[in-house]
Amino acid sequence: MHSLLERQIRKFLKKEEKGSQDIQGFIKAIDRSYHNYEDQFSMLQRAMSISSQELFEANEKLKKEANQQKKVITRLTDATHILQSITVKNPKGKNKNKELTGVELAILIEKQATQISEVEKQREVLLKDLEKSNKELNEYANIVSHDLKSPLRSINTLINWIKEDAKENLDPNIRNNLDLIDQNIEKMDNLITGILEYSVINNKSRNQKSDVQLIGLIEEILQELKVPKHIQINTQAQLPVVLADRSRIKQIFKNLLINAIQSIDKEKGVILILFEETSNFWKFNIKDNGKGIAKKYHDKIFQIFQTLDDQKKSTGIGLPIVKKIVEFYNGKIWLESQEEIGSTFYFTLKK
């Protein structure tokens, strides 16, 4: 008990009462009560202190959660506006900035999720129909190609029989006309083949990927082309190995090399095959010292059936095939050229 309190109590007691056992017991009882009160008060203060800290922390946590929920609702509202603009035909600007409650937001999301689900189902049906149509179209293209080539082969055979039967007795003018017919038959055959190849480039089922050794591929192409003796073709020593459909990569290099060989108008022709490596692409260039191509034709030559060949021997489908294959592999193709000096075709293939 506090000493001041004890002195104040004794002050009001009579002299004979101060030594009484009852009074002493009374003072001790007060003392015990006093200490018990202090302990309880101390415990209460401590408890209030702990509760206040917990309440403060809980309050801060609630504030953070409320802010996060507000951000989530704002983003969901923005998302639903975007979805709404895609799936629902609303007047322009209607409900654009409307604040939505949680329930309204949930209802709207549910509604639009249902619409998206229906759209996805329709999309799957359309994709299956498209896949079926593409398959039928490819089969039809093969049939048409075969049916168109069949009479051409027959005509070619008949012309050869006429030449063999007549031998030296055939009039030179007639023989010349038969040769022209034969050349046009060959051109028509190449055109049909080119159209078929062009039509199936985007068919991914025909894209049989493998490691393509470009050095060996170029050698194979050069043997098939029978390069004229006055033309020299030089290849960079270490061409890369690319992961792609071998037949398609062969089409790219073969068509570009044919184009380069046909452009050579000088006594000594030189064609270079080079490449560079970037982080995501292989960059190739095929350079020749041919007659060159005027700037105004740089885009035209990549359009189907467009040709600069005055003699009309070209089908005008080789470079469009190259462009389509390059783009199939997420690459680009372009041309740099100077008339009478030569041309360089650049193209990239994604690694």
Q: Label residue 336 by pLDDT band (50, 70, 90).
A: very high
Kindly state the average pLDDT of the residues 61-68: 78
Percent of the chain exceeding pLDDT 90 equals 26
Mean pLDDT score of the chain, rounded to an integer?
A: 78
Residue-wise pLDDT for 232-288, tens only, equals 999 987 899 999 989 899 999 999 999 999 899 999 999 999 999 988 999 999 999
Instruction: Output the pTM of the full model.
Output: 0.56
Beta bridge partners of 343: 288, 337
Tell me the domain boundaries of the chain.
Answer: 1-100, 133-199, 207-350
Percent of the chain exceeding pLDDT 70 equals 71
Question: According to the model, what pLDDT value does residue 46 have?
Answer: 63
pLDDT over 60 at 318, yes or no: yes
Maximal C-alpha separation, the chain: 171
Average the pLDDT over each of 47-56, 64-73, 263-272 and give the range with the smallest value.
47-56
Q: Label residue 314 by pLDDT band (50, 70, 90).
A: low
Geometric angle at alpha carbon 199, from 196 and 200, rounded to 5°: 90
Kindly state the average pLDDT of the residues 303-308: 76
Question: According to the model, what pLDDT value does residue 90 have?
Answer: 47
Question: According to the model, what pLDDT value does residue 157 have?
Answer: 87
Kindly state the average pLDDT of the residues 286-294: 93
Question: According to the model, what pLDDT value does residue 276 have?
Answer: 93
Domain 207-350 has CATH 3.40.640.10: no
Question: According to the model, what pLDDT value does residue 304 have?
Answer: 79
| Nearest partner of 113 among 72, 80, 74, judged by Cα | 80
Residue-wise pLDDT for 129-160, tens only, equals 877 776 776 676 677 777 777 888 888 888 88
Contact 73, 103 (CB under 8 A): no
Kindly state the average pLDDT of the residues 307-328: 78
Question: According to the model, what pLDDT value does residue 39 have?
Answer: 64
Residue-wise pLDDT for 81-137, tens only, equals 666 565 544 444 455 555 656 677 677 777 777 877 888 888 888 888 877 776 776
Kindly state the average pLDDT of the residues 19-40: 65
- How many angstroms separate the CA atoms of 284 and 218, rounded? 13
Question: According to the model, what pLDDT value does residue 281 have?
Answer: 92
Question: According to the model, what pLDDT value does residue 54 have?
Answer: 66
| Nearest partner of 318 among 168, 191, 200, judged by Cα | 191
pLDDT over 90 at 305, yes or no: no
